[in-house]
Homo-oligomer: A and B are copies of this chain.
Amino acid sequence: MNAGVTSTRTPVLAVSTVIFTLRPDAAGEMRLALPLVRRIRAPHQGKWALPGAPLKANEDLQASAASSLLSTTGLEPRYLEQLYAFGQVDRSPDRVVSIVYWALIGSDETASAIESENVQWFFADEVPELAFDHNVIIEYALWRLRSKIEYSRVALGFLGETFTLAQLREVYEVVLGKRLDPGNFRRMVESASIVEPTGEYLEGTRHRPPQLYRYNASKDLTDPDPLTLGTTSTRPNARDLGAAS
């Protein structure tokens, strides 16, 4: 046995990404899915893991997340945000601190995805046992997605340039795991002016053609990094507590 691998080595930095999309299952139901890659070296060789790579010396963190994601899965996310830095001493035989990003991509943009024996899509509720603490990481990313969809516009990260309200609602329904009332959803979306109508209508439906929408401020969707703090507005739904005056 190789006895020397202790956890007291100088910490190494890696950047990984949890990237979600929506895909239909066998029954045609839309479900949350994410790509995993098979580890090709020890530790945990052969197990599935999040896409990622060691941090390069001349690369910013977010750029590192994007580039390692692109090179291992072929995906370029529409939304990308830092999730958390995982650094428990015992999370790997080596001392690895993983700075994890989470990302969203539209179903229509996953066509370019690499799919092979070593890169595959999994439904979020059918993730196998992964390498390291990656199962915990995915759980946390899911929690963050579900929380954030309620007060921000991240849902748009799943959709293309234009979309119908029914499509947008479906995103919410899949992520939150419950049905939403179409009327109330429309009211919410319109009052929050998250999106605006394009004036065009979707054709080819079996019924009245739904209006197409686009989002107003695509800026708001990307890069909520503290690095852009000055330009970030406060959350739309933030409430006051017993405010006076």
Give residues in A with beta carbon < 8 Å to B.
7-11, 13, 55, 57-61, 82, 84-89, 95, 97, 99, 136-137, 139-140, 143, 147, 150-151, 172, 176, 178-181, 183-188, 226-227, 229, 232, 234-235, 237-245
Count identical subunits in the complex: 2
What 19 new A-B contacts, CB under 8 Å, besides A13-B97, A55-B97, A147-B234?
A7-B58, A8-B58, A10-B57, A11-B57, A60-B87, A84-B226, A85-B85, A86-B226, A136-B226, A139-B226, A139-B229, A140-B229, A150-B239, A150-B240, A178-B243, A180-B241, A180-B243, A184-B241, A184-B243
Of the A-B pairs whose beta carbons lie under 8 Å apart in the complex, a sample of 21, sorted by A's number, is: A8-B57, A8-B58, A10-B57, A61-B87, A61-B97, A82-B84, A84-B226, A86-B226, A143-B226, A147-B235, A147-B238, A150-B238, A150-B239, A151-B239, A176-B240, A179-B245, A180-B244, A184-B241, A184-B242, A185-B241, A188-B241
Q: What chain B residues lie within 8 Å of A178 (beta carbons)?
A: 243-245
- Chain B residue numbers with a CB within 8 Å of A9 are 57
Q: How far is the CB of A96 from chain B (nearest CB, A)?
A: 11
Tell me whether B242 and A185 are in contact (CB under 8 A).
yes
| A229 engages B143 (CB within 8 Å) | yes
